Amino acid sequence: MDLQQDTVRAAWEAGTVVPAFNVPHLPMLAPIARAVADQDSFALIETAHIEWQVFECYGPAAVDEAFDLFGDPDHVRLHLDHVPVFDEAGEAVDYLPIIKKALGLGYPSVMIDGSMLSLEDNISATREVVDIAHASGAVVEAELGAISREGAGPLPPYEELFASGAGFTPVDHAARFVAETGCDWLSVAVGNIHGAVSKAFKDKAKTQARLNLDHLAALRAATDVPLVLHGGSGVRREDVLAGIKEGIAKINIGTDVRQAFVQGLKATGTLAGAQDSVYERAKWLIHDYYGITGSRRVILG
């Protein structure tokens, strides 16, 4: 098996992180790619199943076309994010054709989300995707645990949810899951929450989340693979930086840049103004929040 360069593993081994920017609105891609290049950093640009259902990114092929125009592979690569076996409404998703299409387009990494399945069924679905993707030279991200989404339905108060550990990725399950699936990266639940995508909540500030760092350390020891933090927007900065030291090597960023796009559009009334807002936010995240200016040299060599 000759996998394409695994940039997230390279970041993990170097003790740094790859930010993964979602582009629910297609014009967000160009300013994000420009911000990453201007900071001589490295990032993933990703598209998730829910985004082409709810927003205006139009799916993997459209994102791939935009990437061909604006993406510089020396600084950014594509990733197929969050293709679920069952969506958040509990409806079955025909996930294999979506993943195969992205692989055919040349996506170097894909994500299968079987977290709503039983452990055994999640292992089975993920193993099948791993076999298909690895045969194409692509890397696979999987998910284990229950990461809540704001606005998807009533949730307990955050502190109550955090204290209970409800939905946290079980350490013993994680060890078995990675061993039996062969997945390359594992998305985990350790206090993080997804941002809202519903009309009523998508423009509201996210609940500030934190991470159970002890649980994260145990997951790292049990799995020995790069860990992924979904719902990266809104997590306390000190927890994020500590989490990187405990094995988080990829952080998904959606709400932060999506709201910057919407707010820029409202403030200026122009697409250029919205793109400028996304550029400034992405640059701030790379330089000030994560402190990873210049990371390209560490990750790509």
Query: Annotated catalytic sites, by residue?
Result: 81
d(CA 200, CA 278): 22
Percent helix, strand, coil in the chain, to 5, is 50, 15, 35
Cα-Cα-Cα-Cα dihedral sign, residues 48, 50, 56, 58: positive
142's tokens: 């999987």
Element of type H or E holding 98: helix 95-105
Contact 292, 276 (CB under 8 A): no
Helices and strands of the chain, counted as H and E runs:
13, 8
Residue type at 125 in one-letter notation:
A
Q: Supply the Cα-derived Rg of the chain in whole angstroms.
A: 18
* Alpha-helical segments (H) within 109-225: 119-135, 158-164, 171-181, 213-223
CB 70, CB 33: distance < 8 Å: yes
Rounded CA separation 107/218 (Å): 31
The separation between CA 19 and the C-alpha centre of its own chain, rounded to angstroms, equals: 8
Name the DSSP class of 5. Answer: P
Beta bridge partners of 207: none
